[in-house]
Structure 1
């Protein structure tokens, strides 16, 4: 039945019933129902939070990035409030859409929110009554206290550089079980090698409250897949509160269990990486439980790879373990491989911090090229030796450097060095001082590359078709294509220029810097791992040696990870 418009204009309670008539007689009435007409908007709600307080409209600096806060919405005396709509933004105006139901008609509601940014922000909230009427929007000012990334709520940090000391402020030194090798080579410095049979590390007692937001991270290098292997966990009474692990199928995973009982209860909230783990390769793992959002997240090498809904209902009160887990009260799933730089936080690590962890830059090779004589140059990091070949020769004019590439008499020279210890399918940074004396006509010129059977995985170069400095990332070992990033800076020939190329796996960005300043960026290059030699003075394309440089090169640095813009800006000053 449709009620004609305007018939029920007055607010109030209406009763209705109906009967059927054939013209002679009628049925008895049925229904005898009632409904209310309500055009009155509810009063604006009252918003409060002890985690992110507000004093008479003025936000008090509190909390921090990744630190979940609870906010309460009060119906402010309106008895028929059904739900609330809310949002948080840095903007001055917003139309909130996220819904949270009141605790009964006219009741309060509570939401959890985890800031991903510091500084001033605004929560927008309105009440909605059972008739769908909406209140005015309340603006609740928030000021997320600024702090150093990766410092706030750090509950434990074990660098594992030959010892088991905690480098956070909590002095939670680890205890070794079995015979772990404490002097293994790490991603950065030392690490601990575990045998997958009896060796593990632990801290006696809980470190994290697993019923609320927390994050756990580590560098891991697995020796082989087979059976569950745990990088990091925390014991309950009978089962782990969480496990950061390698699965039987060779996937990285994060799992939490519904109950602290044998078998973990009915719910096993496991999220798995979509790509299999690479064996014997350093991989950064980050597991996040966001209690405010009710989500589990897994990051691999700084990139969010999987998430799912989950809400923890219990806290694990036992030991924190590195290299093992708990199941049915026993220590199981021992890790076979190497673990480095373990960190645990009692808060959410946000995406920008995940990138910082995974992009931690480590200098893998540094060739100053300042020897000035002979046919070799030395890597100041590893002691490896690079060889001058062909017409490559020293010059000692304004700077000591190596002349490489094409020469006037038709010769060709280059410097080759051992692979610098980076994976070109992950994040890396390459930097060098270069001088291009003459680009010539119709010719690309490459100063620094890594060799490949058919293609160089990257080239730091001058590109003739755009007449710019360029950082090129090829797209596959057998793919005749690349993503190249031309600089915004105009090249200067016959003068020294400092070039830096960055491949940022976590952000899927490729960037070029000129004389320490950001110049250009493109997105979408995946990259591939080339394990050839470091080459100064040329590159490889379709199986041919190409793009000979025509000038000099000096002070070449290669890093795993990504240098910050500030650090890149300092590189030209260090040469």
Structure 2
């Protein structure tokens, strides 16, 4: 033998069983030591001063694995006093390194005491990797459940073993394998009893309920819950196996379902516990004043609560309420000190849950205004609804929520909600949430409700109109707030475009007809010509909807209603079917436009460059905004349906293409016009242009915002939406 013996660096992985306390690798180690002794003896007598001897003397053992680099499954190394619980045999991992940068292999060891009290040890060796690599081993299936198991690891550099991770100040890691799920949890509620045990309907939407969840398994550490109509999460009991209390605010009436699972320390989930309960409609207002009293009245009749509101001398009844709502009238307020009404009593407890709402129309925004308030202590209102610092506002005590922009002469619906359980104050404007204040502390004192003014040195008397004031002693939830603010739609024009008389096509309800210009004509299907039986008949085009449609040749053809059809100062919607002629598919063409003094206020058009639908808006300063339906292809020779919707309350423009919102943008136009409507052309460079080559059918004009369902109905050819 002329050299020395060195252990193989690339061992195959193997695990060896042995009694705890002994060396699980004793036979192989013994043989290695014998061979090593021979090698050392030979080296001493033959090559005592070779470079190899110096290198061997300098070789340092691998580093001790750090506890921070050890994981049991996805969990950090845990001690035996607080072991990691796992629901399947875990994969043990460790990062091992060598100070000399040598490749290293790992040896994992797991140990436990079996049911007979005998110690059990299992080990495994891995193949070698670069220093600093991560090594892992999945514990064998013979490791029993519900048994404390410890494990440790060490590294070998091919020459010498490093220390165990448990040596010295290190420690062994511990885990318990638990494959049994906890028991199904129980649920109970004093406010909302279980459906099968109680056939009464319980209060209700906007009224909190509490649900106690408990478990008979003492290792339950959390509960996973989900309410059917919203609200889900995970909660932890104070002690394993203990109860938790869930707080829930019903969003709708019916029979919702609460589903709960118990989760144990190992992550095992119980079978789901399902709890059904009955929720009725939310309680009606505790106080209300429609303010639709007859002109000359001295007080507002109570719609709820039984207390009329006495009017000051700055209030005049008989004004019009907001259009397209169920609110039939309003009261006008002149902004003087006498512009108020008062009930003389509180309407809500500001320390509890309450909601206040009103339809409001400011006619002056020169200063902050109070629509509804309730007196508090120390010359400060307990709560208030109105305007503040140029925005709509809702105050509860010292907390203020602001959002949305008031516009002079325009109606808005305001709803302020105080939720003492969540500690919030929330403001809705026209049914949309615009802001929330957190950590709200309500006042402890309260006085009379005021309409049109607020308590304090500056009473902020309302200047404008107010209607439909309501107060609830509960939380009004978001769907309810949206419903209270809903404004309907009203047809302002419908042209079926199935016929023409004297150069115009009539409006269904006797309104302004569409005058045909250029060579524009109404095509009607002729059933007397059947291409199937008469080869000389030819192939005739078909109407998009009904018996006919408007045909435009792109060379000066159009149709127009010159008188006022659309009021752009309020929400409006335009809809029509259109088919673009493929012979003109490369040029821009207008489908619908609203003419202004110097140009078109709004244009629904076809872009020949991109073959997409667009809306172009021009504000009062001449600035243009273009929306493009990026996700909708304007295919020539195909039938399409387009709707332009302007939502004045939300300051938003939407473009529907074939029943889908394809483009939308926030937009405050800055213009107010009562205008006619143009079909097939728009203003271009001071004249008319972008003439349409194609056909148009079923033109609708609506006051108000069409809903997605209404747009779909029009797309399907329905006329009454």
Q: Could you say whether these structures have the same fold, taking a TM-score greater than 0.5 normalized by the shorter chain as the test? A: yes
Provide the rounded CA distance (Å) in 2 between the counterparts of 1:413 and 1:405.
Answer: 9
CA deviation after TM superposition for structure 1 residue 245, in Å: 1.7
Structure 1 residues 115-152: Cα deviation after superposition (integer angstroms, max 9, x where no partner) = 33555332547699xx99999697452446475xxx75
Distance 1:241 1:42, change over 3 A: farther
> Given the alignment, which residue of 330, 335, 345 partners 2:462?
335
Aligned match of 1:48:
188
Aligned match of 2:256:
120
Distance 1:480 1:237, change over 3 A: closer
Structure 1 runs not aligned, ≥5 long: 11-37, 258-267
Provide the rounded CA distance (Å) in 2 between the counterparts of 1:219 and 1:229.
Answer: 14
CA deviation after TM superposition for structure 1 residue 183, in Å: 2.8
Provide the rounded CA distance (Å) in 2 between the counterparts of 1:316 and 1:371.
Answer: 70
TM-score (norm 2): 0.56
Distance 1:375 1:8, change over 3 A: closer
Alignment of 1:466-545 (within 5 A): 472=615, 474=617, 478-484=623-629, 500-503=643-646, 510=654, 512=656, 519-522=659-662, 524-529=664-669, 530-532=671-673, 533-537=675-679, 538-540=681-683, 545=688
Provide the rounded CA distance (Å) in 1 between the counterparts of 2:200 and 2:636.
Answer: 50
> Given the alignment, which residue of 208, 233, 241 partners 1:69?
208
Provide the rounded CA distance (Å) in 2 between the counterparts of 1:315 and 1:362.
Answer: 44
CA deviation after TM superposition for structure 1 residue 337, in Å: 1.5
Distance 1:511 1:567, change over 3 A: closer
Structure 1 residues 138-176: Cα deviation after superposition (integer angstroms, max 9, x where no partner) = 7452446475xxx75344555544548779676665442
Structure 1 residues 369-407: Cα deviation after superposition (integer angstroms, max 9, x where no partner) = 9995699999979x9x78959649896979999969666
Provide the rounded CA distance (Å) in 2 between the counterparts of 1:57 and 1:114.
Answer: 21
Aligned match of 2:136:
none
Tell whether the 8 Å contact from 1:87 to 1:96 is kept in structure 2 after alignment: yes
Residue 396 of structure 2 is aligned to residue 270 of structure 1: no
Aligned match of 2:226:
88
CA deviation after TM superposition for structure 1 residue 254, in Å: 0.7
Residue 337 of structure 2 is aligned to residue 177 of structure 1: no
Tell whether the 8 Å contact from 1:460 to 1:501 is kept in structure 2 after alignment: yes
Tell whether the 8 Å contact from 1:367 to 1:555 is kept in structure 2 after alignment: yes
Q: Which stretch shows the higher mean deviation, 370-379 or 542-551?
A: 370-379
Provide the rounded CA distance (Å) in 2 between the counterparts of 1:39 and 1:95.
Answer: 29
Distance 1:172 1:105, change over 3 A: farther
Provide the rounded CA distance (Å) in 2 between the counterparts of 1:535 and 1:72.
Answer: 58
SS of aligned partner of 2:593: strand
SS of aligned partner of 2:399: strand
> Given the alignment, which residue of 592, 612, 617 partners 1:448?
592
Residue 353 of structure 2 is aligned to residue 213 of structure 1: yes
CA deviation after TM superposition for structure 1 residue 367, in Å: 5.9
Tell whether the 8 Å contact from 2:614 to 2:626 is kept in structure 1 after alignment: no
Distance 1:376 1:80, change over 3 A: closer
Aligned match of 1:420:
566
Provide the rounded CA distance (Å) in 2 between the counterparts of 1:134 and 1:312.
Answer: 41
Provide the rounded CA distance (Å) in 2 between the counterparts of 1:542 and 1:111.
Answer: 65
CA deviation after TM superposition for structure 1 residue 230, in Å: 0.8
CA deviation after TM superposition for structure 1 residue 192, in Å: 2.1
Provide the rounded CA distance (Å) in 1 between the counterparts of 2:312 and 2:652.
Answer: 40
SS of aligned partner of 2:718: helix
Distance 1:244 1:415, change over 3 A: same
Distance 1:95 1:563, change over 3 A: closer
SS of aligned partner of 2:450: strand
Structure 2 runs not aligned, ≥5 long: 1-66, 69-76, 84-175, 526-545
> Given the alignment, which residue of 478, 486, 504 partners 1:351?
478
Provide the rounded CA distance (Å) in 2 between the counterparts of 1:489 and 1:152.
Answer: 50
Tell whether the 8 Å contact from 1:455 to 1:543 is kept in structure 2 after alignment: yes
SS of aligned partner of 1:565: helix
Aligned match of 2:425:
296
Tell whether the 8 Å contact from 1:177 to 1:201 is kept in structure 2 after alignment: yes
CA deviation after TM superposition for structure 1 residue 233, in Å: 2.0
Provide the rounded CA distance (Å) in 1 between the counterparts of 2:471 and 2:561.
Answer: 44
Aligned match of 2:490:
363
Aligned match of 1:565:
709
Provide the rounded CA distance (Å) in 2 between the counterparts of 1:460 and 1:436.
Answer: 14
CA deviation after TM superposition for structure 1 residue 200, in Å: 1.9
Provide the rounded CA distance (Å) in 2 between the counterparts of 1:110 and 1:549.
Answer: 65
CA deviation after TM superposition for structure 1 residue 187, in Å: 2.2
Distance 1:237 1:8, change over 3 A: closer
Aligned match of 2:284:
153
CA deviation after TM superposition for structure 1 residue 311, in Å: 4.5
Structure whose residues are more often strand by fraction: 1
If asked which structure has higher relative contact order (CA below 8 Å, sep 6+), I would say: 1
TM-score (norm 1): 0.68
Aligned match of 2:275:
141
SS of aligned partner of 2:455: strand
Structure whose residues are more often helix by fraction: 2
Tell whether the 8 Å contact from 2:425 to 2:436 is kept in structure 1 after alignment: yes
Distance 1:437 1:85, change over 3 A: closer
Q: CA RMSD in A?
A: 5.5
Provide the rounded CA distance (Å) in 2 between the counterparts of 1:456 and 1:125.
Answer: 61
Number of positions where the alignment pairs a residue of Structure 1 with one of Structure 2: 513
CA deviation after TM superposition for structure 1 residue 243, in Å: 0.4
Tell whether the 8 Å contact from 2:293 to 2:329 is kept in structure 1 after alignment: yes
Tell whether the 8 Å contact from 2:493 to 2:702 is kept in structure 1 after alignment: yes
Tell whether the 8 Å contact from 1:435 to 1:553 is kept in structure 2 after alignment: yes
Distance 1:377 1:524, change over 3 A: closer
Greater Rg by CA: 2
SS of aligned partner of 1:481: strand
SS of aligned partner of 2:192: coil
Distance 1:465 1:288, change over 3 A: farther
Alignment of 1:16-55 (within 5 A): 47-55=187-195
Aligned match of 1:242:
383
Aligned match of 1:556:
700
CA deviation after TM superposition for structure 1 residue 335, in Å: 1.0
Tell whether the 8 Å contact from 2:573 to 2:646 is kept in structure 1 after alignment: yes
Q: Which stretch shows the higher mean deviation, 441-450 or 559-568?
A: 559-568
Provide the rounded CA distance (Å) in 2 between the counterparts of 1:525 and 1:47.
Answer: 47
